[in-house]
Structure 1
């Protein structure tokens, strides 16, 4: 990662009656797309709301674009942020989209009406419609146009393609790729859509039950996590604990053993040195990796 960080979260905790978030520590590099992946209820949306100073942590420090969120006198940094939440409140339902636009644009000196109109045309959205009459997907498309029209330096996207049809999804992917081209902008997104994460993200953060299980460079992650199949008889008598990257070892039937490793190349070299033939291999996808990390986390907690 580069030295410059768009977001810095240090030992942050948020305590509620039925949920505790943290302690969280995370650094999001500038000029990159970082995706938070995890089950519902992991704390992704609460993290976004803390970054926007909509809710306050009970402990810890947060800074965005070099500005401490605790500094109430310095709110100029919010003009550099665009936020698209997963859900929208009903309090705006009777408002026409164009009326909301007229109100919002006054807060942004860099508002670009041509870009706003371009995105509306791309998504085929009519902003004369009342917000409450829009479908979930149409409302999200409108909010994208509203948020991106002031060309924010930092985009916070909570489940960005929720409610999108495949054509709109492809248009959004293409637009966000172009948005990142200047190298100065940053996206932090929460998503459960694997293709979305694979196509957009530079870094992946796994988050479960209010805790971060790890942050990984995407290409390195997907190339290093593999499943190997070996003969149980060849493995017998070997010091399996010395195998690098070994996460899971289980019976695969017919005398074979299934090995899940986070260090594919090192595991393969270890097998060569130990004269163990790898009979089959398969790269793990994001859901598989998350499942392994969750199970390891459970075992760690029990221990």
Structure 2
């Protein structure tokens, strides 16, 4: 379980019991999440899980119907200037004025930010092989993504919010975006909130994970904690079993007869004791990828709200 934050300054994003409903659809169902300063928080879930709706509340684009959202100690709806001036944002849409040249767009955007760094812009433009003279309307989707990342990073925001930033992009552009995120973290210690359905990408850069499914928070905590909690185990019995054994915290049994396999959440000694009581023996344990853990939980019925961790 993640250790509690030391004081209010350690928590840059504080979301409590957030509810958002669109008609009969509950997009967010009592979500609570705390993002510590300097963390890379990966928010994962299938399309429609509530990731974008959650980030719109962080940006102050949606007002909570119930619950609270506090960003850097401020309400993003009541104080949008105070919050947005300290955030960088990149979405998968990459919406920009087509008639502008890249250089004009950079100069225009920079005029709104006192902390805008022209030297950093030049570094990023060169790194991404962009031409300041190119018109936005001529850019490929990948080039638009690179320009969008320059705009998000150039004022050196305290929090970088990325909503499916590499969705639909080729592997080279995805690599550039991830490299820029890693550089931002390692060199400047910024906080990054990174939503994606591409779990392998999140796994590469995130040190904290939040799993959303149908608007509910299934899990939140550090990556290391999650890896330690979840693993695939195979239990062998002395006699054939017609139905899966009843073991606490086991998810998604498969197999039959003498051997059954499941994903297990908990301590190894607890599982071994439970398996022994059921007449079985653990014969194999395997560490899981983020993708395997998410699929197991998102596919469980009902959603495992009980695996929520306090952040």
TM-score bracket, shorter-length normalisation: 0.7 to 0.9
Q: Is 2:14–2:34's contact at 8 Å kept on the other side of the alignment?
A: yes
Deviation at 1:63, TM superposition (A): 0.7
**How many angstroms apart in 2 are the aligned matches of 1:16 and 1:271?**
43
Gaps of 5+ in 2: 306-311
Aligned CA distance change for structure 1 residues 248 and 172 (closer, same or farther; 3 Å):
same
**How many angstroms apart in 2 are the aligned matches of 1:162 and 1:272?**
43
Moved more, 104-113 or 166-175: 166-175
Q: SS of 1:180's equivalent?
A: helix
Aligned with residue 30 of structure 1, among 32, 37, 53: 37
**How many angstroms apart in 2 are the aligned matches of 1:247 and 1:163?**
32
Q: Are positions 1:78 and 2:81 aligned together?
A: no
Aligned with residue 281 of structure 1, among 281, 285, 295: 285
Aligned with residue 265 of structure 1, among 268, 271, 279: 268
Q: Is 2:227–2:288's contact at 8 Å kept on the other side of the alignment?
A: yes
Q: SS of 1:84's equivalent?
A: strand
TM-score, normalising length: structure 2: 0.84
Aligned with residue 245 of structure 1, among 226, 242, 249: 249
Aligned with residue 198 of structure 1, among 195, 203, 216: 203
Aligned to 2:308: none
Q: SS of 1:31's equivalent?
A: coil
Aligned to 2:70: 63
Aligned to 1:181: 186
**How many angstroms apart in 2 are the aligned matches of 1:21 and 1:272?**
38
Aligned to 1:210: 215
**How many angstroms apart in 2 are the aligned matches of 1:106 and 1:214?**
40
Q: SS of 2:299's equivalent?
A: helix
Aligned to 1:41: 48
Q: SS of 2:186's equivalent?
A: coil
Aligned CA distance change for structure 1 residues 229 and 133 (closer, same or farther; 3 Å):
same
Q: Is 2:250–2:264's contact at 8 Å kept on the other side of the alignment?
A: yes
**How many angstroms apart in 2 are the aligned matches of 1:290 and 1:182?**
30
Q: Is 1:261–1:267's contact at 8 Å kept on the other side of the alignment?
A: no
Aligned CA distance change for structure 1 residues 280 and 8 (closer, same or farther; 3 Å):
same
Gaps of 5+ in 1: none
**How many angstroms apart in 2 are the aligned matches of 1:96 and 1:65?**
34
Q: Are positions 1:16 and 2:19 aligned together?
A: no
Residues 3-41 of structure 1, C-alpha deviations (whole Å, 9 max, x = no match) = 321111112222212532222221111110001000001
Q: SS of 2:114's equivalent?
A: coil
Deviation at 1:295, TM superposition (A): 3.2
Residues 189-248 of structure 1, C-alpha deviations (whole Å, 9 max, x = no match) = 101223321221111100012221120211221233111222233696xx954x453223
TM-score, normalising length: structure 1: 0.86
Deviation at 1:155, TM superposition (A): 0.4
Deviation at 1:187, TM superposition (A): 0.5
Aligned CA distance change for structure 1 residues 119 and 220 (closer, same or farther; 3 Å):
same
Aligned pairs for 1:111-130 within 5 A: 111-130=116-135
